[in-house]
Chains A and B, each alone.
Chain A
Amino acid sequence: MTAKISYAEVETGTELPPARFPVTRATLVQYAGASGDFNPIHWNERFAKTVGLPDVIAHGMFTMAEAVRVVTDWVGDPGAVVEYGVRFTRPVVVPDDDTGALIEVTAKIGAKLDDNKVRVDLTATSAGQKVLGMSRAVVQLT
């Protein structure tokens, strides 16, 4: 593994470059195919509403995959991520238009750990609401 970032150059509180990830209905159909998760709440508005959702929602795992990109883009080597966990607090509602929804992600170093590892604390919001809670990655730096 070859992280681009060295342990010595980060401090607790160091912010990673933030990112914004758009998601449309087409994105969700593509993700369903690639992941094998064809639950209709992610592509069928009629079905989503019958189970009490406001509209089609993004796969939680899609949101989780986008959020960690703030970490993998920063560290260069995605194999440097040794732990990653999230809590799904609110769904990302994806309207049927050309804009869809936006997932906004910020991250900072929450703690420096042993063996050149750091804990990165992530925040992901959509439409001004937190969509992931307790979102943390442990990353092996050089």
Chain B
Amino acid sequence: MALDQSFVGRTYPPTEPYEVGREKIREFAAAVNDPNPAYVDPEAAKALGHPDVIAPPTFVFSLTYKAAGQVVLDPQLGLDYSRVVHGDQKFAYTRPVRAGDRLVVTSSIDGLKSMAGNDIIDIRGEVHDEAGEHVVTAWTKLVSRAAEEEATA
């Protein structure tokens, strides 16, 4: 079923602020088994010119994906979330995410396509800090796969 093109360009309300903690960054770095001291040692991070420990480059996805849930679960859009897979992911950083940040995500629909029964949605998440400064933009392409009977048709 083709998605309603009128949703392209729609922007959703900003999320409540997410407070980035040192221990959450440490937990994430441990989960990807990354020993870089910039993630756990404030002194090491300061030696690199950062005010506190920074997060690994993909950390912010946990925020932007949750924010994208506003879009993909929007009942008016009608995406079949149970069949969604991650197609592409891109980040562009003004600066790294760091401990102490209070981050707000604003999600927009950049594009909608239906191809061979698959619904493809491009969502952009703009991440700003408490001062309103841009931190990172995340572009997420999600594909809602066609149900089998349609895919084999």
Contact = CB atoms under 8 A, between A and B. Distances in A.
Contacts of B38: 77-79
A96 interface: no
A22 B129 CA distance: 35
Contacts of A34: 27-28, 30-32
B48 interface: yes
Interface stretch (B1-9, B55-63, B120-128): B55-63
A85 interface: yes
A83 B90 contact: yes
B111 interface: no
Given A77-B48, A78-B39, A78-B57, A31 B92 contact: no
Contacts of B88: 85-88, 134
B87 A35 contact: no
Interface residues of B, number: 37
B30 A79 contact: no
Given A1-B48, A79-B96, A88 B91 contact: no
Contacts of B58: 61, 64-65, 68, 84
A2 interface: yes
Contacts of B61: 35, 61
Contacts of B32: 31, 34, 62, 65-66, 69
Contact of B48 (A33, A66, A79): A79
Nearest to A21: B33
A27 B87 CA distance: 22
Contacts of A68: 56-58
Contact of A85 (B39, B48, B90, B96): B90
A87 B57 contact: no
A37 interface: yes
Report whether over half of chain B's contact residues are helix, strand or loop; otherwise say mixed. mixed
B20 to A, nearest CB: 13
A15 interface: no
Contact of B95 (A73, A79, A84): A79
A37 B65 contact: yes
B49 interface: yes
Given A21-B33, A83-B93, A37 B48 contact: no
A81 B57 CA distance: 7
A21 to B, nearest CB: 7
Contacts of B90: 83-86
Contacts of B92: 82-83
A13 to B, nearest CB: 24
B47 interface: yes
18 contacts: A1-B49, A2-B49, A27-B33, A30-B31, A31-B31, A34-B32, A36-B66, A60-B89, A61-B58, A69-B36, A76-B48, A77-B48, A78-B36, A78-B57, A79-B96, A81-B93, A85-B90, A88-B88
